[in-house]
Amino acid sequence: MRQSWGASLKTICLVGGKLQGFEAAYLSKKAGIKVVLVDKNPQALIRNYADEFYCFDVIKEPEKLLDLSKKVDAILPVNENLACIEFLNSIKKKFSCPVLFDFDAYRISRDKKSSKDYFKSIGVPTPQDRPSEPPYFVKPPCESSSVGARIIYDNEELGTLEPDMLVEEYVEGEVVSLEVIGDGSNFAVVKETQVHIDET
């Protein structure tokens, strides 16, 4: 059933027209899928790359997105606006097509402490919290990806951090981001991206 639905995916609606939207649009068009873009910014980065562009705020005008859901085969949120993601989650059952997004996974992965607690619960090794000696790997508690993450090498700088910053043991080695796609039961790593951490 999933395979036949995937084969019938001819038009996709992307909610978000920044860099993530460009990647999704490029891959969709490469697969022969028509791209409909929704973004509240009239100067959205990929507005001219999409096949159709609708400029409106989905939170303020949800009826427009609900109407679009009747004309596309799927909706894919491609933005990191938490208010927008949470709103889409709240109305997802009203759409006339599937929403290709795991809202629980996003919530956990965005919250670095929740992510770490989850990894520990399933036996994945994690760096030590608040080690006694530098270097330290620090990151904000709730930002996407590697935003705000950096390495610090002395205790003096450690004292300047905001109290909610996560401080971990620095484990030397390559840092990679894995893009995973799945259907709830089967999963595949489809892209690996090397992450460069600010060491200044």
Q: Which of 40, 75, 101 is the last residue of a domain?
A: 101
Same domain, 109 and 83: no
Do both 108 and 94 map to the same domain?
no
Query: For the whole model, what pTM was predicted?
Result: 0.75
Count of domains observed in the chain? 2
Percent of the chain's residues with pLDDT above 70: 92
- pLDDT for position 196: 66
Say if residue 92 is in the same domain as residue 130: no
Pair of tokens at residue 48: 């001219």
Verify that 113 and 78 share a domain, yes or no: no
Domain that holds residue 73: 2-101
Check whether residue 15 and residue 86 sit in a common domain.
yes
Q: Where are the alpha helices (DSSP H) in 46-168?
A: 62-68, 82-91, 103-110, 112-121, 155-158
Statement to judge: residues 114 and 60 lie in one domain: no
Q: How sure is the predictor about 174, in pLDDT bands with cuts at 50, 70 and 90?
A: confident
Least confident of 7-11, 24-28, 36-40, 181-185: 181-185
64 and 139 part of one domain = no
Judge whether residue 139 has pLDDT over 50. yes
Query: CB burial class (10 A; 0-12, 13-18, 19+) of residue 70?
Result: exposed
Residues 33 and 90 in one domain: yes
Query: 108 and 199, same structural domain?
Result: yes
C-alpha 67, offset from chain centre: 25
3-state helix, strand, coil in the chain (%, to 5): 30, 25, 45
Q: How far apart are the first and last CA of the chain?
A: 51
The confidence score (pLDDT) of residue 107 equals: 85
CATH number of the domain enclosing 185: 3.30.470.20
What does the pLDDT average to over 22-45? Answer: 95
Pairing state of beta strands 166-169 and 136-139?
antiparallel
62-100: pLDDT as tens digits: 999 999 999 999 999 999 899 999 999 999 999 999 999
